Amino acid sequence: MGASFFFGAAKVIMTAIDILDLEKKYTTGFWKKKPKQALSPLRMQVEQGEIFGFLGPNGAGKTTTLKLLMGLIFPTSGTARILGMELSDPKMKAQIGFLPEQPYFYDYLTARELLHYYGRLSGMDAKGLSNKITTMLDRVGLGDAAGVQLRKFSKGMLQRAGIAQAILHDPKVVFLDEPMSGLDPMGRREVRDLIEQLKHEGKTVFFSTHILADAEALCDRVAVLHKGELRGVGAIADLTSSVHGRVELVWQGTTIPDALRALSTECRLAGETVRAIVPEENQDTALEIIRRERMRLVSVTPVRASLEDYFVARLKSDAASAGVQS
Amino acid sequence: MNGRIFQIASNTFREAVRDRVLYNLIAFALLMSGAAVLVGQISIDIERLVVINLGLTAISLFGTVIAIFVGIGLVSKEIDKRTLYTVLSRPVQRWEFIVGKFLGLAGTLTVNTFFMAIGVFASLLYVSHRLHRADGWVLAALYFIILQFLITTALALLFSSFSSPLMSAVFAFSLFVIGSFAEDLRGFAAMTGGLTKWLATGAAYLVPNFSALNVISSVAHQQPVSGHLILYNTAYAVVYSAMVLCGGILIFQHRNLK
């Protein structure tokens, strides 16, 4: 169970999402049923008030996890608690918001009618709902399209309507499945800003994405999922520190010695300056070559590993261990 | 009614209206006005009989087609388009969703039947120049037609909760046809013996008894409908629909949404 602490009479729940060995297997095939592991037992926690990124390539199990948490599919084993409550608890569902991947809504409704419907389903009082809807539509940039049927909306506008329905009822935990997909750069920026606003309002945001730049820009912590298995979870700085470091060497010269080219992962000549990225363990050898060739060293700068480096490193190590096994 | 069920039912009704389901009223209005003018010219003393038979049969068929073809999409369409995701991630129980959908379509069919009934009475007035006391029994026949829609909608929803739209349509339409001959099936069961008798009796009582709900011919011939039959048919339709709905809910309750 999630970490719940008691301070006198007041109960302070620190864990927003507590996933306890949640597992999902499907059976495929008509006659000969074959089990397919969509999600291996997953155990992790998301703290209240954090932006948590759920990363993985397509088919990693991100949407399966979200569907399990939303009660849309049932786990083969394990359980989870959100805000300390069971997944089937309607009280818990009144406190969460969910944006599915590539959302599709009732296209015969206008944006205002859609939000009214979802607001009422979430238990919002009819009184004052109209004003809240107007504010929300303005917030997501759909103020001018309030009376337009959703069948006339572009993909980006649908995504905005989806975000509006997910946060209209002021939920404590917001689940967003690929919230930036299908958006233009401006739209992505706006969604990023909105997610940050939600954090400032004290909400917990759990969002899945395969766009690592978005996660790197927003998340306090991330989890990496691959082939239904959790490969890593933690703060981005902690995860990337586990990736072997690299250094950027800059020197003056018009040629790149073959020995240096062999050591570098990246090597570029621009005018009379050469930039090379070498793995940390090759730094001394590379500097020795520069000295030997009597070239003038300009700088040596450590290169911070990005989330992408970590991600690629994890996937490569998986592929390597799979190769060894086979 | 529970607020969430009411919202789902209202939305289902609104969907039917905006998807132009009620446009069938135009076809019905054309049919009734054409029939009223035609029988007024060619038939002698049977205008009333023809208008009631034609009108009520058309109401029954139009409504059944809507109940089946809209009913089979009530759940499957929401799953295919994933609109259900944003509904069930709210404090909405799965049974509330099914009941809301059922009531929404049942409401649509009742409104549809109401407007068609106005058409039938207008045609009756046109051919007979005045309404007779016996025409009141047409209301009982219309009530039975609505009961028939409740059962058909529940069946379409049941099949929709676990099967593809095409198969759901085949199942629901087959049951509608078999149910229309339920009395004949019971008669056949009574005439046979042994295992056949048991199987035929079981099937006769399992399929919906639509023949008991069909009093179109007798009201057209000005025969009254007994209070006992009204009570029996009401209880039968309510219990049968409720049982079918419970079956649908039980299946849907454990279904993984793709």
Alpha helices in A107-154, H assignment, sequence order: 111-121, 129-139
Mean pLDDT of B11-30: 86
- Tell me: pLDDT of B242 over 90: yes
Confidence band (pLDDT; 50, 70, 90) for A110?
very high
Longest Cα–Cα distance of chain B, Å, equals: 63
The whole-number pLDDT of residue A138 equals 94
pLDDT in tens, A121-151: 999 998 889 999 999 999 998 999 999 999 9
Find the residue in B nearest to A169 (Cα).
B90
Q: Count CA atoms within 13 Å of residue A196 on its CB side.
A: 11
The whole-number pLDDT of residue A12 equals 56
The whole-number pLDDT of residue A324 equals 53
Total-model pTM:
0.84
Separation CA B2–CA B10 (nearest Å): 12
- Tell me: pLDDT of B9 over 80: yes
Which has the closest alpha carbon to A84: A21, A20, A23? A20
What lies within 8 Å, CB to CB, of A56 at 6+ separation is: A62, A208, A210, A224, A225, A226
Confidence band (pLDDT; 50, 70, 90) for A246?
confident
Q: Are A210 and A57 in contact (CB under 8 A)?
A: yes
- Tell me: pLDDT of B193 over 90: no
DSSP 8-state assignment for residue B182: H
Separation CA A322–CA A208 (nearest Å): 25
Task: Say if the Cβ atoms of A123 and B91 lie within 8 Å.
Answer: yes
The whole-number pLDDT of residue A264 equals 84
What lies within 8 Å, CB to CB, of B2 at 6+ separation is: B96
The whole-number pLDDT of residue A321 equals 67
**Shortest distance, CA A89 to any CA of chain B (angstroms):** 8
Q: Are B242 and B106 in contact (CB under 8 A)?
A: no
| Comparison of pLDDT for B204 and B44, the residue scoring more | B204
Find the residue in A nearest to B13 (Cα).
A108
Which has the closest alpha carbon to A311: A248, A245, A239, A207? A239
Separation CA A64–CA A70 (nearest Å): 10
The whole-number pLDDT of residue A306 equals 73
In what helix (H) or strand (E) does residue B89 lie, and over which residues does it extend?
none
Contacts of the segment B29-38: beta carbons below 8 A, 24+ positions apart: B29/B119, B31/B58, B32/B58, B32/B119, B32/B120, B32/B122, B32/B123, B33/B123, B35/B123, B36/B123, B36/B126, B36/B127
pLDDT in tens, B70-120: 999 888 889 888 899 999 999 999 999 999 999 999 999 999 999 999 999
B18 at A interface, C-beta within 8 A: yes
| Comparison of pLDDT for A324 and B1, the residue scoring more | B1
pLDDT > 90 fraction of chain A, expressed in percent and rounded: 49
Mean pLDDT of A201-220: 89
pLDDT in tens, B130-165: 878 878 899 999 999 999 999 999 999 999 888 888
Mean pLDDT of A222-239: 88
The whole-number pLDDT of residue A102 equals 82
- Tell me: pLDDT of A8 over 70: no
Residue type, A72: L
Contacts of A74 in chain B (CB under 8 A): 254, 256
Which has the closest alpha carbon to B114: B146, B149, B154? B146
Contacts of B257 in chain A (CB under 8 A): 67, 72-73
Confidence band (pLDDT; 50, 70, 90) for A216?
confident
pLDDT > 70 fraction of chain A, expressed in percent and rounded: 92
B99 at A interface, C-beta within 8 A: no
Instruction: Report how many helices (DSSP H) and strands (DSSP E) chain B contains, helices first.
Output: 12, 0
Tokens of B170: 């085949």
Complex-level ipTM beyond the 0.90 threshold: no
Q: Which of A17-31, A231-245, A291-305, B226-240 has the lowest mean pLDDT?
A: A231-245
Burial of A139 from C-beta contacts in 10 A (0-12 / 13-18 / 19+): middle
Give the total residue count for chain A.
Answer: 326
For residue A204, the SS3 value is: strand
- Tell me: pLDDT of A3 over 50: no
Strands A51-55 and A204-209: parallel
The whole-number pLDDT of residue A67 equals 95
Alpha-carbon A124 to chain mean position = 29
DSSP 8-state assignment for residue B163: S
Which has the closest alpha carbon to A14: A30, A3, A25, A24? A3
Of the candidates A67, A93, A106, the beta carbon closest to that of B83 is on A106
Contacts of B89 in chain A (CB under 8 A): 70-72, 93, 96, 98, 175
- Tell me: pLDDT of A323 over 80: no
**Shortest distance, CA B238 to any CA of chain A (angstroms):** 27
- Tell me: pLDDT of A4 over 60: no
- Tell me: pLDDT of A309 over 70: yes
Q: Which of A15-29, A37-51, A299-313 has the lowest mean pLDDT?
A: A299-313
Separation CA A30–CA B252 (nearest Å): 21
The whole-number pLDDT of residue A271 equals 84
- Tell me: pLDDT of B232 over 60: yes
Mean pLDDT of B166-180: 91
Mean pLDDT of B7-25: 89
The whole-number pLDDT of residue A2 equals 44
| Comparison of pLDDT for A278 and A117, the residue scoring more | A117
Q: Are A81 and A18 in contact (CB under 8 A)?
A: yes
Instruction: Report how many helices (DSSP H) and strands (DSSP E) chain A contains, helices first.
Output: 11, 16
Q: Are B156 and B64 in contact (CB under 8 A)?
A: no
Confidence band (pLDDT; 50, 70, 90) for A7?
very low
Find the residue in B nearest to A72 (Cα).
B257
- Tell me: pLDDT of B18 over 80: yes
Which has the closest alpha carbon to A48: A192, A204, A185, A170? A204
A74 at B interface, C-beta within 8 A: yes
pLDDT in tens, A169-183: 999 999 999 998 778
In what helix (H) or strand (E) does residue A249 lie, and over which residues does it extend?
strand A246-252
**Shortest distance, CA A267 to any CA of chain B (angstroms):** 48
pLDDT in tens, B26-80: 888 888 778 877 876 776 668 888 889 989 999 999 999 999 999 998 888 898 8
Find the residue in A nearest to B9 (Cα).
A117
Strands A51-55 and A221-226: parallel
B11 at A interface, C-beta within 8 A: yes
Alpha-carbon B124 to chain mean position = 23
